[in-house]
Structure 1
Amino acid sequence: MPNAKEDNLSALSQAQHRAVSELLRVSPVADELARRFQQAGYTLALVGGSVRDALLGRLGNDLDFTTDARPEEVLKIVRPWADSVWEVGIAFGTVGCQKDARVEDSAPAQRFQIEITTYRSEAYDRTSRKPEVSYGDSIQDDLVRRDFTVNAMAVALPAKEFIDPYGGLEDLAARVLRTPAAPEDSFSDDPLRMMRAARFAAQLDFEVAPEVIEAMTAMADRIGIVSAERVRDELNKLLLSAHPREGLSLLVETGLAEKVLPELPALRLERDEHHRHKDVYEHTLIVLEQAMALEQQPDLTLRIAALLHDIGKPRTRRFESDGRVSFHHHEVVGAKMTKKRLTALKYPNDVVKDVSRLVELHLRFHGYGTGEWTDSAVRRYVRDAGPLLERLHKLTRSDCTTRNKRKASALSRAYDGLEHRIERLQEQEELDAIRPDLDGNEIMEILGVGPGPVIGRAYSHLLELRLENGPMERDAAVTALKEWWTNQSD
């Protein structure tokens, strides 16, 4: 039987074969650009994530390069060649550009997004959120400042010389995340790298080396100097990965979650001695995975809602006199906590609003029973969910993690029944756009009054009738409005 060493050698060989194929694909762009740098007296190398992805056989059209040319010289070289150039990262030594190129004679042109960064080193001042950038003189010095060994490999162009001074290829084959320098030095330079470790564990399904986990645990407080926007972006990448559980578990294990998303580790509630309520933390991770299984494509709003749907439970937990554990109104408390946390992490207003609403509504279905809701209650469910209805369907279905197969089957059938009723009512009533049977202008004309609060109250009354009884003929709606108006006057 093959041993671990033979397996590793086989993995290395396969990775190198994949890299050759990937590099040949982008050669028309990469080599042409490298020759321009060479003619100007500079070097150019494909680097970092691009090399890692080439070795994994998944190199896309976003290419990262490093060079000994300073940014001003990079601009002179790429401007005549690229289709467009941007300088948004030039303060950090990075020039971006776009190039449309045909990689095969008979194929249509492809669009390449390219970033070229001058050899550099950067470190955080302990009182600053921004790195101080200084330029380096060798590619080896540039690679040692990168976050992980699997991102510290380069391919010098156009010769295609593989540069791997820190054993990144072996770590890639072993599926291990290590840092090129001592992890304490790496994380001190840029504490966000601790979150990147969790993100790459989730994206690549890699193990994190013990010494890296130890440094993350010891230095978790250091994440506090990183801006909320950068933390949020890493968290998004982690959540949108194929294996978010691995990354989230690492954040909790190392104490980083306590600093950036404390509501998550707070879900690890101690169970009572009779084990009468389930592990909320583990339940949450399962809900996230089950929600992912229902997606057509990765949905950040749904995933955040799945992660946060029960964060109100620790604050609402009560041990009842009969021995039960209750979490009354945890969805309302959780919605407020969600809004506060996502706002602190600088999420866009629409994401804050949508996720908070999903958290608030995720328990609504549990009043449905086996179908006891009236059509009016179904209409209200749809109205309250609004454009989030499909996400609410997925979140509600995902929230069932019971091991009792009969109970799970009953819940699934009940929700099937609710969705069927929604579809039937939508066909009958165009439920997606529930409005009163008279609009504001008609209300003013019928009542003989101008704009003002009374029109809003009349509109709300007609909307309630619409929800309660379904569509009304115009004459019936006019009669109902006049009856309401008469009662207002009494």
Structure 2
Amino acid sequence: MISLDNPRDSAERVVSELLRVPPAADELGRIFADHGHRLHLVGGSVRDALLGRTSAEGVAAKVPADLDFATDARPERVLEITRGWAEATWSAGIAFGTVGLARRGLRFEITTYRSEAYDRTSRNPQVSYGDSLEADLSRRDFTVNAMAVSVPEHDFVDLFGGMADLARGVLRTPASPEASFDDDPLRILRAARFEAVLGLTPGPELVEAMRSRAQRLTIVSPERVRDELRKLIVAADPVAGLERLVEVGIAEIVLPEVAAMRMEIDEHHQHKDVYAHTMTVLRQAMTCEEPGAPDEVLRWSALLHDIGKPRTRKHIPGGRVSFHHHEVVGRDMARRRLAALHFPKDVTDAICQLVYLHLRFHGYGSGDWTDAAVRRYVHDAGPLLGQLHKLVRSDCTTRNRRKAAALARTYDSLEERIADLSAREEIASIRPELSGDDIMALLGLSPSRLVGQARAHMLEFRFECGLVGREAAEAELLRWAREHEVAIPGEQE
């Protein structure tokens, strides 16, 4: 990693650091030069080389998976001069001036010098091409992303003090922050993400522009907002980014349920601050992850697990507060928010199930959980059981050490019971001992709702009694059929 304590020294050494860029990048630069065009590495590729990292998300690797370039060549010209060199091309972003290439397992994104701006109603930028690197860099989001290195010459370009800002840990925009955010409102979210990912602190002018331009985010497509939030949540310090969103009023637009957790606490109805508690849970959940392997589902679940509390809060005698069924309300709220952001269904389902289940453990402490209840807990968690364990343990944030220790012992007990049952029977994927085909054969039924009802009963029987063997399971099915007046083949009316 290059030391940024001395920017001049860093500038002189940047070339040696950038030698880690694959030779294919210099090959590409020579192709452009031979055809009378300029090519520069830009943005995160340069920033991360200065920081000694290869990904804006902090994932270390010997070679970056993607390299971003800027050029004076128009997209059609890029496709023309790289034909035969690129092993694959894609043009999904060509309307925005970007052409994608692949060679030797690397991806190259080449964007024509451009400027872009939103009008007051459009969700997509209006792109116009430029003719100079200087103008192109001036329209980039932040100074730390407005540095460039020519290929193959490796001449370093830093017109806006991006390297010095990296050294100081400051986030600034090349142009005025208001103009930058007007050009692309998504940069408001990106500022919070860079605070979370790189630990760069927005300056006062930037913070004020984030606050004053927050409503501009309403014109940005949900997919672009979603992508920024997903990158933020898996950052090194997502709490810093989330707190910035709440502070400047952006969370009220993109994650209003999180902002709403800042409930007032008056002197007559003292209760744990839900917002502060949530951030603590998120931090604790992160400590449960494998090093370098952020768990997006676990982190979202930690962030959203208590969003149902504001809607379910009730003051009860004695100055206490209740939040009955907040896990059910929270699950439904989480599903609506994630759907509005166009999250993938599998990610949404996992997060919502963890939100729904996070409170169930607290009934275990009363000591009345049967083996059937333990089986249901494991069955309902399914493949999320490990993440549920982490979420529940992270949710115990009491400052009372004795209470915290008691909760930990209680959950240890539950995990021990799960392990004990697992040793005696397969509870990780509980299913009835009789399949749907078995039920239809025994009762002489065709596929129907009645078969589903019979199977549901046999699943409950499995929860209550465990593995009893086929003979006992068939006897229970016949008993249920008689009770529900289902005709059984071979038995007289």
**TM-score between both structures, scaled by the size of structure 1:** 0.93
C-alpha separation in 2, matches of 1:23 and 1:431: 53
Map of 1:71 onto structure 2: 75
- What is the SS of the residue equivalent to 1:431? coil
Map of 1:55 onto structure 2: 50
C-alpha separation in 2, matches of 1:236 and 1:385: 23
Map of 1:106 onto structure 2: none
Contact 1:402 1:408 in 2 (8 A): yes
Distance 1:427 1:19, change over 3 A: farther
1:471 corresponds to 2:467:
yes
Superposed CA deviations along residues 36-68 of structure 1, whole A, max 9, x for unmatched, are: 111100111111111100100113241111111
Cα drift, residue 210 of structure 1: 0.7
C-alpha separation in 2, matches of 1:122 and 1:442: 64
Contact 2:269 2:319 in 1 (8 A): no
Map of 2:21 onto structure 1: 26
Contact 1:150 1:177 in 2 (8 A): yes
C-alpha separation in 2, matches of 1:17 and 1:361: 55
Map of 1:460 onto structure 2: 456
C-alpha separation in 1, matches of 2:9 and 2:359: 49
Map of 2:300 onto structure 1: 304
Contact 2:15 2:154 in 1 (8 A): no
- What is the SS of the residue equivalent to 2:264? coil
| Residue type of the alignment partner of 1:397 | R
Taking the TM superposition and a 5 Å limit, the aligned residue runs for 1:96-115 are: 96-100=100-104, 111-115=105-109
Contact 1:19 1:56 in 2 (8 A): no
- What is the SS of the residue equivalent to 1:41? coil
C-alpha separation in 1, matches of 2:72 and 2:19: 24
Cα drift, residue 370 of structure 1: 6.2
Taking the TM superposition and a 5 Å limit, the aligned residue runs for 1:405-420 are: 405-420=401-416
Map of 1:38 onto structure 2: 33
C-alpha separation in 1, matches of 2:327 and 2:88: 49
Superposed CA deviations along residues 399-448 of structure 1, whole A, max 9, x for unmatched, are: 11111112111111111111121122122111122111212222222223
Contact 2:11 2:156 in 1 (8 A): no
C-alpha separation in 2, matches of 1:212 and 1:124: 19
1:421 corresponds to 2:425:
no
- What is the SS of the residue equivalent to 1:155? strand
Map of 2:314 onto structure 1: 318
- What is the SS of the residue equivalent to 1:276? coil
> Sequence identity, in percent?
61
C-alpha separation in 2, matches of 1:159 and 1:125: 39
Please say which of residues 198-207 and 286-295 is displaced more in the overlay. Answer: 286-295
C-alpha separation in 2, matches of 1:121 and 1:159: 25
Cα drift, residue 18 of structure 1: 6.5
C-alpha separation in 1, matches of 2:414 and 2:34: 69
Please say which of residues 402-411 and 203-212 is displaced more in the overlay. Answer: 402-411
Cα drift, residue 469 of structure 1: 1.1
Residue 351 of structure 2 is aligned with which of 351, 355, 359?
Answer: 355
Cα drift, residue 274 of structure 1: 5.0
- What is the SS of the residue equivalent to 1:45? strand
Distance 1:166 1:381, change over 3 A: same
Residue 397 of structure 1 is aligned with which of 384, 393, 411?
Answer: 393
Distance 1:407 1:11, change over 3 A: farther
1:82 corresponds to 2:76:
no
Structure 1 segments of 4+ aligned residues over 6 angstroms from their partners: none
Cα drift, residue 11 of structure 1: 4.6
- What is the SS of the residue equivalent to 1:373? coil
Please say which of residues 186-195 and 18-27 is displaced more in the overlay. Answer: 18-27
C-alpha separation in 1, matches of 2:71 and 2:176: 24
Map of 1:376 onto structure 2: 372
Structure 1: gaps of 5 or more residues: 1-7, 101-110
Please say which of residues 199-208 and 80-89 is displaced more in the overlay. Answer: 80-89
Residue 157 of structure 1 is aligned with which of 143, 151, 154?
Answer: 151
Map of 1:488 onto structure 2: 484
| Residue type of the alignment partner of 1:76 | E
1:132 corresponds to 2:126:
yes
C-alpha separation in 2, matches of 1:10 and 1:440: 69
Cα drift, residue 12 of structure 1: 2.5
Superposed CA deviations along residues 348-377 of structure 1, whole A, max 9, x for unmatched, are: 122222211111111000001065411111
Residue 266 of structure 1 is aligned with which of 250, 257, 260?
Answer: 260
- What is the SS of the residue equivalent to 2:256? coil
Cα drift, residue 132 of structure 1: 0.6
Cα drift, residue 9 of structure 1: 6.7
Contact 2:269 2:315 in 1 (8 A): no
| Residue type of the alignment partner of 2:317 | S
- Measured on the aligned residues, the alpha-carbon RMSD in Å equals 1.6
- What is the SS of the residue equivalent to 1:346? coil
Map of 1:10 onto structure 2: 5
C-alpha separation in 1, matches of 2:173 and 2:76: 31
Structure 2: gaps of 5 or more residues: 55-63, 487-493
Contact 2:4 2:10 in 1 (8 A): no
Contact 1:149 1:166 in 2 (8 A): yes
C-alpha separation in 2, matches of 1:141 and 1:196: 21
Cα drift, residue 275 of structure 1: 6.5
Map of 1:5 onto structure 2: none
Residue 334 of structure 2 is aligned with which of 329, 333, 338?
Answer: 338
